[in-house]
Amino acid sequence: MLRVQSACRLQRLFAYNRVHLSTRTSLIHGYSTFIASAAKAVPANATFDSYKPSKSCMYWMNASKAFSTNTPIDETSATKASSIPLSASTVLQDVAKIQAKLGESHSQWIQRVAAGSTLHEEPFRLTVIGDAGSGQNAVMAALLSQPTLDLFDKSKILKASYGVSTETPSISLPTTVNIRSQSSWLNETGVEVSLISGLEVTRLQSDAVQDTLLKSDAILLVTHSSRELTGVIDEMVVKNFLAKGKSNVFVVAITETDSSHLKSAAANLEAKLAADMLQSDLKSLPIHNLTMSDGKLVDFSDSTIKSTIFKLVKSIDKAKNNTSLFLAWSALQHLSNHHTVSMLHLQDAHEEIAAAAKHIVKHEQRLVREFRQSDLGVVQSSIISLTDAFKLYFSKMPFWKLFWRSDFISEDLFSRMREHSFIRAEFQMTYATGKANEALYQLNHNLVDRLQPMTLSTHVLAKHPITAALQENILQLLSIVKRYIPLSNDVAGIDSSSVEIDKFLLRNEVAAFDESSHCDLVQKQAQKIVQRQFSVQFLVAVSALLATHLGVPLAVCIPSWVLVSGLGFGWMNLKWLATQRRFLRDISESQKTLKSRLSTVYDNEFTRVIAAPLAVSVKMIEEAIHQRTLEATAARKYLDELLLQCKDSNNVQK
């Protein structure tokens, strides 16, 4: 039953890693496909906020989502597990597995949990601790039925067990001093008593002190009533053990026989302890009051300390189980704090990626803005110059010159086009293309510079398994970025045409700008105007002669002929002006089309070569961070539930 219970509890935490390896392989393969199709998938004006991959580019996104959507958490199993009281041995096994899965950074905690499974086989452990001069040595001597303690190294933990002093003591560790005592109380109970004599040992042997306190089945915190639990060790034991629910922690309050404030000191200590434990019932506080005179305990034999310990020894299984549960809870709490730090590092990584994306977007916007304002401005300048040349030519070409210049209009316009060519605009477009290609290298280089430190073994991400997995994701992405997108102008071995904008693409668009058809059309229209004018004038002259022949007076024929002939020339002038306006309008439309075409081609190529791959790279990293955050959140939820179960089970068994 316990094994089924354990499996149910662990299922929630480890379900999200079942497809980890297969998903990671799919991500790497999918990214290559994604990069190759990014150019076709992204619209011309795509940005990081508006970019949405097409169907062909959804492979990686779907694969990454499979990590979370294909491994649902079994809420029913978790609920059932949370309703079953925990066994100490079972929960320690679970904690060990969680430590291995989430990566406990402190080896001492791994060893504590591993050793916790054998606590029930060991003797009852009692620890006496207190700040220097609090009377803990006198309490220890009284427990051992000795008037005083022999001299010992107070920078180490003193450990006493039953035996004759002539026996060879157990091997002392660098942090402990082992002694033997023939105390009948030790003989009857089999208790192993440890003494932590002051602040010095807690500073020099902090891990050993923690081990001793965590593995203790009972703790006697010896303190002076007048101190009101304000000593360093007092606060440490009360805050880290008593207030957090460790069983069998007792406060031994020492008062001097000549003290004039015995009652007030005891009352203040009780109030302070009740406040620290958030407890209102003062009668249930675990306090034993002792009196000291001349460095010796006066009423120890009358106290209930030994009898209390003796009762605990009789129910040693319960005490050991409580000790193991608190050890498991403390290990989970330490792992939870460690896990909280890893989530903060994930948040920092997300902020770093967001800053990188913001920098990339600003750089891209600046490039596009410079192209539209500066580079296209050169094209606009060439267009204005050519248009002014056409206008100047037409201002010097009145309609009456058409009679002998109509056959040369196209040639004259071609001459103006040669004089005001778009060579400068072509060079500017070549420069703009080169600048965009340089931005390709620069932006990718900046992205790698920002991400590369996050993959180092010295980075904070390497300290936690979940963030280390993110490191691996970033490292894989960087290797692909370096493979498909060059990071410098040295592109040996890489087909630059596949990763750069064609440097002659925009130049060819400008070079293809041809107005010869409009010039030829103007000449044809001018020739038609002249031909029609000749026809009109011929008909007017013939009509005037015929009218004269028929007897119309010359006084009438001549003015009429002059009037009609003038109207013909006026019509010719209007027709020529309309032709000029139509030509200039057509030229203006062609020029607008050229600028629009240049802008569209630049946007498409800029998106295909620069914006889309960078957007994909950033989005993949953000997706990896999101994925690891989901893992961390699931682990956090499970840890919180197991912490609550440990605490509830410990409270039930008290």
pLDDT at 254 exceeding the cut of 70: yes
For tokens 């569209």, name the residue. 600
> Which uninterrupted H or E stretch holds 619?
helix 612-653
117 is a domain residue: no
- What is the model's pLDDT at position 62? 39
Instruction: Give the mean pLDDT of 300-316.
Output: 84
332 is a domain residue: no
pLDDT tens sequence across 378-401 = 999 988 998 899 989 988 888 888
Burial class (CB within 10 angstroms; exposed 0-12, middle 13-18, buried 19+) of 449: exposed
In a shared domain, residues 410 and 292: no
Asked which of 83, 99, 134 is the last residue of a domain, the reply is 83
CB 426 within 8 A of CB 508: no
pLDDT at 56 exceeding the cut of 50: no
CA–CA distance, 52 with 54 (Å, rounded to integer): 7
Q: What is the mean pLDDT of the chain?
A: 78
pLDDT tens sequence across 477-533 = 888 777 666 545 554 444 455 578 888 899 998 888 888 888 888 889 888 888 888
Tell which residue, 577, 578, 525, 582, has the closest CA to residue 399: 577
95 is a domain residue: no
pLDDT at 86 exceeding the cut of 80: no
258 is a domain residue: yes
pLDDT at 216 exceeding the cut of 90: yes
Asked which of 279, 314, 349 is the last residue of a domain, the reply is 314
Cα dihedral 438, 442, 448, 449, rounded to 10, equals 150
Burial class (CB within 10 angstroms; exposed 0-12, middle 13-18, buried 19+) of 83: exposed
CATH of the domain at 202: 3.40.50.300
User: What Rg value do the Cα atoms of the chain yield, rounded?
Assistant: 46
In a shared domain, residues 40 and 175: no
| 29-38, 340-349, 398-407, 429-438: least confidently modelled range | 29-38
Tokens of 551: 């007897």
Burial class (CB within 10 angstroms; exposed 0-12, middle 13-18, buried 19+) of 581: exposed
In a shared domain, residues 127 and 74: no
In a shared domain, residues 471 and 553: yes
* Between 341 and 299, the higher pLDDT residue: 341
56 is a domain residue: yes
Kindly indicate the confidence band of residue 4, based on its pLDDT and cuts at 50, 70 and 90.
Answer: very low
In a shared domain, residues 347 and 307: no
**Rounded to the nearest 5°, which phi and psi values hold at 297?**
-75, 130
In a shared domain, residues 310 and 344: no
Cα torsion 631, 633, 634, 639: sign: positive
In a shared domain, residues 285 and 357: no
- What is the model's pLDDT at position 491? 47
Is this structure's pTM higher than 0.85? no
pLDDT at 639 exceeding the cut of 50: yes
Cα torsion 377, 378, 383, 385: sign: positive
CA–CA distance, 417 with 383 (Å, rounded to integer): 10
Domain limits at 224? 122-314
DSSP string, 378-445: HHHHHHHHHHHHHHHHHHT--GGGHHHHGGGHHHHHHHHHHHT-SHHHHHHHHHHHHHHHHHHHHHHH
93 is a domain residue: no
pLDDT tens sequence across 261-304 = 556 666 666 677 777 666 655 556 778 888 777 767 776 776 78
| 70-84, 90-104, 599-613: least confidently modelled range | 70-84
In a shared domain, residues 299 and 373: no
Instruction: Give the mean pLDDT of 153-182.
Output: 75
Structural domains counted in the chain:
3
pLDDT at 25 exceeding the cut of 50: no
* Between 88 and 561, the higher pLDDT residue: 561
Tokens of 354: 């967001």
- What is the model's pLDDT at position 79? 37
| 198-207, 294-303, 404-413: least confidently modelled range | 294-303
239 is a domain residue: yes
* Between 107 and 282, the higher pLDDT residue: 107
In a shared domain, residues 429 and 486: yes
518 is a domain residue: yes
In a shared domain, residues 12 and 146: no
Note the Cα 271 to chain centre separation in Å.
47
CB 71 within 8 A of CB 19: yes
In a shared domain, residues 171 and 298: yes
pLDDT at 128 exceeding the cut of 90: yes
In a shared domain, residues 420 and 357: yes
